[in-house]
């Protein structure tokens, strides 16, 4: 069994890993930037080492500094969390060469599934449906335009090494395509150091459904059902839930089998996620695999009762999965809202600064994953998410009503947050009826009164 883990991340996921390790009796070493010296994960870990200045490029993205901390701390394994180096095949390979367990898949798997064009080819060979698109990275906008015209507009341009909505643009015609292609290329180069792009047919108003996978080193693999992540803004997820209000039993079964096929084709080990787009008729298409724990893993944990972080650690320790597919039941409905330091009434502009007062909601069916507290300084150097609020219950309505109640209890003063915006969405009839697609937020904001986010929300829970 692993005895000591270095947590190569920050914020709520680092704290989440500290808690799982403590329950397993595993010693933890936190690494942190100068901006995160007072962060909760630093305070609650058994040990902590500073690895550089506030900029993530000089701290959390510096593999050499993390590995130096690992040597100083004499650790057995590294948990990368999500973001930063979690899907960096070179970092995973460096861990392997240093005889450090990387709590995630093998480096060759990360490389195969991180390259989105290679991932498409891999799963297509396994018989998993994929969206029509280019066969591989495109050399330039001229070649890409020819492919786009062959596929038919609208198309979506994606970074081969992308994630989190970066390096992604939609083009509705040939006139706008070249401009969007160049913009995506520049953004991809800046975010990932790789400007390679590919093109896919753009499905209008689909659902974004992902399946959670667990696989051990002994050939055992299961899926833990789906999460509906359709509520997005600029390709960034805002609200997630499990199970999806859209899938029926038959579609869930077919998609679950396809997800397992895709993971098996990648020779996958540890926790990962297969993501699909689903059209109104129930046709589904593979879009990518995330070779790490997801931000929204908590909704699957609450819907199934399975601790995914512990499972990751146990798999990395060489243990067999303790569950088979028949053991996995989604016996609760869970919903997650991402609470961010931002101002929705001003175009969701980030709102860094000091939190003067912090009061988190509680009660039956409420979970708060957050590194924030009164006096905490929200840094402008990192993602604006300060909390994941999860509610759950026997039915979707119970989970929704608890979410509205919990959001109403949340008090965060000193910075702006999107709490009132989330309350408005939770009460919106279209969302409550399970009608949200990936274009939901755009249409919601378009039909909502301009001053909606500046007025108290009127309750309507039908």
pTM of this prediction exceeds 0.85: yes
Residue whose tokens read 């680092």 = 14
Quickly list DSSP for 292-336: S--TTHHHHHHHH---HHHHHHHHHTTPPPS--GGG----SEEEE
Pick the CATH number of 4-103 from 3.40.50.2000, 3.40.50.720, 3.40.50.2300, 3.40.50.20: 3.40.50.20
Q: Which CATH fold topology does 207-454 show?
A: D-amino Acid Aminotransferase; Chain A, domain 1 (3.30.470)
Exposed e or buried b for every residue in 123-155, given b needs 16+ CB within 10 A?
Answer: beeeebebbebbeebbeebeebbebbeebeebb
| Confidence at residue 11, expressed as pLDDT on a 0 to 100 scale | 97
Q: What is the pLDDT of residues 371-397, one digit of tens each?
A: 999 999 999 999 999 999 999 999 999
Supply φ then ψ for residue 172, to 5 degrees: -100, -10
Nearest one of 34, 40, 77, 86 to 56, comparing CA atoms:
34
Record: fold of 132-201: Dna Ligase; domain 1 (3.30.1490)
Beta strands in 46-172 (DSSP E): 47-52, 77-79, 101-102, 155-159, 168-171
**Residues designated catalytic:** 292
The CA distance from 300 to 305, in Å, is 8
**pLDDT surpasses 60 at 455:** no
User: 246 pLDDT exceeds 90?
Assistant: yes
* 132-201 shares its CATH topology with 207-454: no
Q: Which two structure tokens, joined as six digits, stand for 78?
A: 């590294």
Q: Kindly provide the b/e burial profile for residues 266-303, where b requires at least 16 CB atoms within 10 angstroms of the residue's own CB.
A: bebbbbbbbbbbbeeeeebbbbbbbbbbbbbbbbbbbb
The answer to whether the CB of 14 falls within 8 A of the CB of 33 is no
Residue 77: pLDDT band (50, 70, 90) is very high
Domain boundaries, the chain: 4-103, 132-201, 207-454
pLDDT tens, 98-138?
Answer: 999 999 999 999 999 998 889 989 999 999 999 888 877 88
């Amino acid at each position: 069994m692993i005895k000591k883990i270095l947590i190569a991340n920050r914020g709520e996921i680092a704290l989440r890993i500290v808690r799982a390790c403590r329950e397993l009796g595993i010693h933890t070493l936190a690494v942190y930037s100068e901006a995160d010296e007072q962060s909760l994960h630093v305070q609650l870990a058994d040990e902590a080492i500073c690895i550089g200045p506030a900029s993530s490029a000089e701290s959390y993205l510096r593999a050499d500094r993390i590995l130096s901390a690992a040597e100083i701390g004499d650790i057995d394994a590294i948990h990368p969390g999500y973001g930063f180096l979690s899907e960096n095949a070179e970092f995973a390979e460096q861990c392997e060469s240093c005889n450090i367990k990387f709590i995630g898949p093998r480096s060759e798997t990360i490389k195969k599934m991180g390259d989105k064009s290679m991932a498409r080819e891999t799963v297509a060979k396994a018989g998993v449906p994929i969206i029509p698109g280019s066969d591989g990275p495109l050399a330039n906008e001229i070649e890409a335009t020819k492919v786009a015209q062959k596929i038919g507009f609208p198309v979506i341009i994606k970074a081969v090494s992308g994630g989190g909505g970066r390096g992604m643009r939609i083009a509705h015609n040939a006139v706008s395509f070249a401009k969007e292609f160049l913009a995506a290329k520049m953004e991809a180069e800046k975010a990932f150091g790789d400007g390679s792009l590919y093109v896919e047919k753009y499905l209008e108003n689909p659902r974004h459904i992902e399946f959670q996978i667990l696989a051990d080193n002994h050939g055992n693999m299961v899926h833990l059902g789906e999460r509906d992540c359709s509520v997005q803004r600029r390709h960034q997820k805002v609200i997630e839930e499990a199970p999806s209000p859209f899938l029926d039993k038959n579609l869930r079964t077919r998609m679950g089998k396809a997800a397992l096929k895709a993971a098996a084709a990648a020779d996958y080990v540890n926790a990962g996620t297969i993501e699909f787009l689903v059209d109104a008729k129930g046709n589904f298409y593979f879009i990518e695999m995330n070779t790490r724990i997801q931000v929204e893993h908590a909704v699957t944990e609450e819907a199934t009762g399975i601790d995914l972080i512990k499972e990751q650690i146990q798999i990395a320790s060489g243990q067999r999965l303790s569950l088979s597919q028949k053991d996995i039941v989604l016996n609760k409905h869970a919903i997650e809202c991402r609470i961010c330091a931002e101002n929705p009434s001003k175009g969701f502009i980030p709102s860094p600064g000091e939190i003067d007062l912090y009061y988190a909601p509680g009660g039956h069916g409420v979970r708060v994953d957050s590194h924030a507290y009164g006096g905490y300084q929200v840094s402008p150097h990192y993602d604006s998410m300060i909390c994941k609020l999860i509610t759950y219950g026997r039915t979707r309505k119970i989970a929704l009503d608890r979410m509205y109640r919990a959001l109403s209890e949340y008090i965060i003063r000193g910075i702006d947050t999107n709490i009132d915006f989330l309350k408005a969405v939770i009460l919106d009839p279209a969302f409550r009826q399970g009608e949200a697609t990936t274009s939901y937020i755009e249409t919601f904001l378009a039909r909502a009164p301009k001053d909606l986010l500046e007025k108290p929300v009127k309750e309507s829970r039908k």
